[in-house]
Amino acid sequence: MKRRDFLFGSVLAGAALVSTACGQGTSVGGAGTDLTVDPDGTLRFAWAVGPANLDPHMATSEAVWFRYGLPSVYDRLFTVDARGQVHGRLVREHSYSSDGSTLFLTLRDDVTFRDGRALDAEVVKLNLDRARTLDSPVTEREMSQVSDVAVLGSYRLALALSTPTPFVPYKLAQMAGLIMHPDLILHGDPGVETNGSGAYALESFEPGESLILVRDRDNYWDPEAARLARIEHRTFSDYQAQINGVIGGTVDLISLWPDRLASVEGRRGIKIVREPSGMALDLFLNPKHGALESLQVRKQSTTLTTVQPFLRQCFQARRPSTSTSVTVYPATIHGSKGCTPMIQPKLRLCLPRPDTPTGSTSATF
């Protein structure tokens, strides 16, 4: 079993501040509550941790690389809203084959890089092939279920899946789905350089310390996005320094846990936006253990009705998701790459017996 944080949505706070947060935190914005966007304005973030490089595929943390501004430089294939629903970004339409073994993507045809090159299917294939084959900390594992990427047309692709799963679009809303210019991949150094189709370009980068972005495109394909002139991300490892920055007016937005809010609550000119947590739970069942030998029992044990009490017991989840999708694997997944076991007290789970409508059997795992 493992627990992973998921990125959710955007929240407006303060002076047209946009915060993309991970986990159960609170965004704190200064500079009043005027939501009018200043096209010459600068948005200043402070985070506890910064990325060590600029390569989306070499991120060691989805959350850190994501919130530190890379999606402002690189457009991504999908996005996930605050309710956990996936939507196309560069992808205009997506669908699955009848057996679930292939994911078809149809791209927008109006996205270009700064040099005028179209962001087409060949570009996306190059990026996805790199993401799934590069020896990387996160994206190789995240893309492990994509066994091949084929170009079907100028703006259409087919992703062959090793196992039918509905989660690939969610993975392509994260680092694996950020699309770089082919020249950067083939001839540049994505760790220290950027070249994307996003509205912002790199002004400066200090690994782990700061990332400064400037808007340099008037022809960005999404006119409702990226309307600020400048975005600054800086690392303040001390939370009190972040709080002092907001109070002093040198920082516009920070993310805090609820137990740190006392020093800013009630202060004039500071707006607090509380954000729900986003978490994904992977539960691996041992098919050789007791009642779990039955595939039907394993399927029943992974329904939302069964998982919700587990979340409340082990993670104190106050509002479990009401929208979930479950994939059941008939084989053991012991020792799969990237699977880190978590030590938990034994959980005794009562499952319906497959052969009797009212009886139950207990499985401890």
Question: How much of the chain exceeds pLDDT 90, in percent?
Answer: 49
More confident: 223 or 44: 44
Mean pLDDT lowest among 12-16, 43-47, 101-105: 12-16
Mean pLDDT lowest among 22-36, 101-115, 174-188, 244-258: 22-36
CB contact at 8 A, 345 and 355: no
> How many Cβ atoms are within 10 Å of 257's Cβ, its own excluded?
11
Summarised one tens digit per residue, pLDDT across range 135-184 is 999 999 999 999 999 999 999 999 999 988 888 999 999 999 999 999 99
Query: Residue 210 pLDDT more than 70?
Result: yes
CB contact at 8 A, 11 and 275: yes
Mean pLDDT lowest among 137-141, 182-186, 229-233, 353-357: 353-357
Q: Kindly give, in sequence order, each residue whose CB lies less than 8 Å from that of residue 347, ignoring residues fewer than 6 positions away.
A: 310, 313, 314, 364, 365
Query: Residue 267 pLDDT more than 60?
Result: yes
CB contact at 8 A, 11 and 21: yes
Query: Residue 364 pLDDT more than 50?
Result: no
Query: Residue 209 pLDDT more than 70?
Result: yes
DSSP three-state, residue 314: helix
Query: Residue 319 pLDDT more than 80?
Result: no
Q: Note the pLDDT of residue 225.
A: 86
Q: Kindly give, in sequence order, each residue whose CB lies less than 8 Å from that of residue 187, ignoring residues fewer than 6 positions away.
A: none
Q: Kindly give, in sequence order, each residue whose CB lies less than 8 Å from that of residue 90, ignoring residues fewer than 6 positions away.
A: 75, 76, 77, 107, 108, 111, 119, 124, 179
Strand partners, 19: 11
Q: Note the pLDDT of residue 294.
A: 75
Measured CA to CA in angstroms, residue 2 lies from 68, 137, 284, 322, 338 at distances of 25, 16, 9, 20, 10
More confident: 203 or 4: 203
Summarised one tens digit per residue, pLDDT across range 49-58 is 999 999 999 9
pTM across the whole model: 0.72
Tokens 């060949």 locate to 122
Rounded average pLDDT over 299-323: 57
Residue 301: enclosing H or E segment and its boundaries?
helix 295-301
Measured CA to CA, the distance from residue 301 to residue 347 in angstroms comes to: 12
Measured CA to CA, the distance from residue 300 to residue 319 in angstroms comes to: 21
Report all structural domains of the chain as residue ranges with CATH numbers, in order of start.
2-274 (3.40.190.10), 283-364 (no CATH)
Average pLDDT score, the chain = 77
More confident: 190 or 327: 190
Measured CA to CA, the distance from residue 139 to residue 171 in angstroms comes to: 9
Q: Kindly give, in sequence order, each residue whose CB lies less than 8 Å from that of residue 47, ignoring residues fewer than 6 positions away.
A: 64, 67, 68, 233, 234, 235, 236, 254, 255
Summarised one tens digit per residue, pLDDT across range 234-259 is 999 998 899 889 888 899 999 887 77
Strand partners, 349: 363
